[in-house]
């Protein structure tokens, strides 16, 4: 998987999945088109964090410094980000698929988030996994403290993303 090739070692992670009655192709299309802020929960949490709440598609999220690190159509999409996530401004760094693996600034962390699809027997499992690698002991302590508070909300956003895709993908088949 792309996530394993870009961030095989990590300090923090979370994984969520959902089964959807639709083909991987249809789900992948929805995943690429959907505005995740259609969800009131996501919109509220983004607003609380001071983030934009319009046109928050996976490709539109680039304005938050997320970059698409890799993509295997109808199978997986991987997003990446580097910064000091525990700080208000985030001190986000310019990364891309070419320099993400080598990014190694002390005091920073890097994160990946993927969406992967596994289709079997008329259903597709859509999984999202988030991994965070802190680049030194101080950033690991800072992020760990931050993660204690933010992780439940991060999980809620991921779960809500999956439910939103499921709703849209299953309704598209009607």
Q: How far apart are the first and last CA of the chain?
A: 32
Number of domains in the chain: 1
Tokens in use for 94?
Answer: 């310019």
For residue 150, name the pLDDT band (cuts at 50, 70, 90). Answer: very high
Least reliable range by pLDDT among 55-64, 83-92, 94-103, 161-170: 55-64
CATH number, position 94? 3.30.530
Residues 84-109 have pLDDT tens digits of: 999 988 899 999 999 999 999 999 99
For residue 84, the SS3 value is coil
Q: Please tell me the pTM assigned to this model.
A: 0.93
* Predicted local distance difference test score (pLDDT) of residue 50: 80
For residue 172, the SS3 value is helix
Q: pLDDT over 70 for what percent of the chain? A: 99
**143: Cβ–Cβ under 8 A, 6 or more apart, which residues?**
11, 12, 85, 86, 109, 132, 134
Q: What's the chain's average pLDDT?
A: 94
Which alpha helices (H) appear in 21-136, and where do they start and end? Answer: 24-33, 40-48
Q: Which domain holds residue 168?
A: 2-172
């Amino acid at each position: 998987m792309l996530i394993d090739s870009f961030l095989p070692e990590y300090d923090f992670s979370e994984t969520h999945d959902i089964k959807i009655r639709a083909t991987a192709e249809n789900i992948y299309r929805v995943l690429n088109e959907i505005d995740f802020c259609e969800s009131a929960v996501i919109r509220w949490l983004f607003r609380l964090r001071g983030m934009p709440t319009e046109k928050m598609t996976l490709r539109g999220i680039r304005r938050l410094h997320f970059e698409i690190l890799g993509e295997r159509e109808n199978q997986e999409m991987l997003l990446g980000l580097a910064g000091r996530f525990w700080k208000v401004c985030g001190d986000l760094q310019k990364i891309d698929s070419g320099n993400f693996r080598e990014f190694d600034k002390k005091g920073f962390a890097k994160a990946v988030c993927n969406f992967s699809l596994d289709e079997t027997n008329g259903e597709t499992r859509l999984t999202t996994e988030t991994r965070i690698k802190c680049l030194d002991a101080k950033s690991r302590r800072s992020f760990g403290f931050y993660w204690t508070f933010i992780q439940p909300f991060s999980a809620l956003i991921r779960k809500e993303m999956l439910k939103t895709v499921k709703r849209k993908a299953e309704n598209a088949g009607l």
